[in-house]
Amino acid sequence: MISDPPKSRDWWPDLEDLRLSNTAVVVLNTSIENPPKLVRHLWNNSWLRVTVDGGTNKWHSFVKQNSFDDLKFPDLITGDLDSANPAVVEQFVSMGSTIIPTPNQDETDFTKALKEVKKYSAKHCKSIDSIIVMVNMCHRVDHFLSNLNTLYKSKTKDLYFDEDIYLLGRNSLTWLLQAGTHRIHVPQSLRFHPENNYVGFFPMGSACNECTTTGLKWNLKFKRLLEMCSLVSGQLASAYFFMSTNTTCIGSNVPMYSYKKSMVMYHLVIAVDMNNMVLRPGGKPMEMGGLTSSSNTFNGEPIVTITNSSPLLWTMTMGYEESF
């Protein structure tokens, strides 16, 4: 179960202006395809730098390909180390990197790396605000879904991280919006050219019964009001209703009998104000197989707001394609 979230959050996804003094950067086993100057900025200015297993090789290749002489060495090298080149690992160790083997095969290297970040920050009495994870958002679907699973798990009560965890792909930034109200401050460059930049948001873990947005080209505003039940062949059959604004529910004196316990239950009926409410029967909540939002974009406003009743995965392009 997702841990209780804060009631409201502000997000600042402009990585070039992100405060990095309390940030950790994690490189998974993926090619680094972001603009080199941005990568150097994030890496050198973050408080903690981590490469994960084969990500150590990828980081070494990135350093060589871009001829950066000022890049700092990884603080930590984690993972089961079955993919890391021993010679590369030895080179970084000679520069000051610390190896932390994490052989547990019941968890992914990504999940284990997050745990090591937490341990390291606690050991140094340092509060981490955000973790930027360089990932590949395509090619290997199993890796992609596994990364999303770790992102979701990071906000559960069994494995909870206070830090904001961002998945940085080639031209995208993805993170989890817990239930609550969110204000996403749109980078100015993306507001000016919304036709070239896209966003999407998808339910994670459970259906989202309520979602209201502003600041998007196609905004959502719905609320799953009520599940009306009737007894059919000893089972409850459901019909779903959605409404766009709040209204009043009242109990009626029409009984519905339970065949098992001879208990009298009552239907709920809805006091409908047709001027202020739209009732839509037969719809579905926001869920896989139902309503999602993809290929959406910004409407030019500086802030996108989202109020959601259940976790949503938010993803947005970052306008980096022209930088390659």
What's the CATH code of the domain at 152? 3.40.50.10240
Most trustworthy range by pLDDT among 144-148, 264-268, 271-275: 144-148
Residue 175: inside a domain, yes or no? no
Residues 97 and 30 in one domain: yes
pLDDT more than 70, % of the chain:
77
Same structural domain for residues 153 and 199?
no
**Are 125 and 225 within one domain?**
no
Handedness of CA 122, 134, 287, 220 (dihedral sign): positive
Structural domain includes residue 29 = yes
Determine the structural domain holding residue 303 and report its residue range.
182-217+286-315
Confidence of residue 290 (pLDDT cuts 50, 70, 90): confident
Residue 90 lies in a domain: yes
Q: What is the pLDDT of residue 3?
A: 52
3-state secondary structure of 42: helix
Percent of the chain at pLDDT above 90? Answer: 51
Q: Report the number of distinct structural domains present in the chain.
A: 3
Looking at the structure, tell me whether residues 251 and 292 fall in a common domain.
no
Chain segment 15-43, per-residue pLDDT in tens: 988 999 999 999 999 889 889 999 999 99
Q: Is residue 191 a contact partner of residue 158, using CB atoms and an 8 Å limit?
A: no
Q: Give the sign of the dihedral formed by CA 278, CA 283, CA 288, CA 293.
A: negative
pLDDT in tens, 275-288: 333 334 345 678 77
Q: Based on the domain organization, do 206 and 238 belong to the same domain?
A: no
Helices (H), 124-203: 141-153, 188-192
| Residue 249 DSSP code | E
Cα radius of gyration (the chain)? 24
177-186 per-position pLDDT tens digit: 999 999 999 9
- 292 neighbors 310 (Cβ within 8 angstroms): no
pLDDT of residue 89 exceeding 70, the answer is yes
Residue 46 carries which DSSP code? S
Please, which residues bridge with residue 231 across strands? 236
Q: Element (H or E) spanning 171, and its range?
A: none
Q: Are residues 47 and 21 in the same domain?
A: yes
Contacts for 178 with CB less than 8 Å, ≥ 6 apart: 2, 3, 5, 6, 9, 155, 311
59 within 8 A of 74, measured Cβ to Cβ: yes
d(CA 322, CA 324): 6
Residue 301: inside a domain, yes or no?
yes
Same domain for 271 and 292, yes or no, is no
Other CB atoms within a 10 A radius of the CB of residue 163 amount to 18
- Report DSSP letters for 52-111, one per residue: ETTHHHHHHHHHHHHT-SSPPPPSEEEE--SSS-HHHHHHHHHHT-EEEE---TTS-HHH
Nearest to 48 by CA among 67, 30, 22, 29: 22
Residue 248 and residue 299 in one domain: no
Buried b / exposed e along 126-147 (16+ C-beta atoms within 10 A):
eebebbbbbbbbeeeeebbebb
Q: What is the CATH number of the domain that holds 306?
A: 2.60.120.320
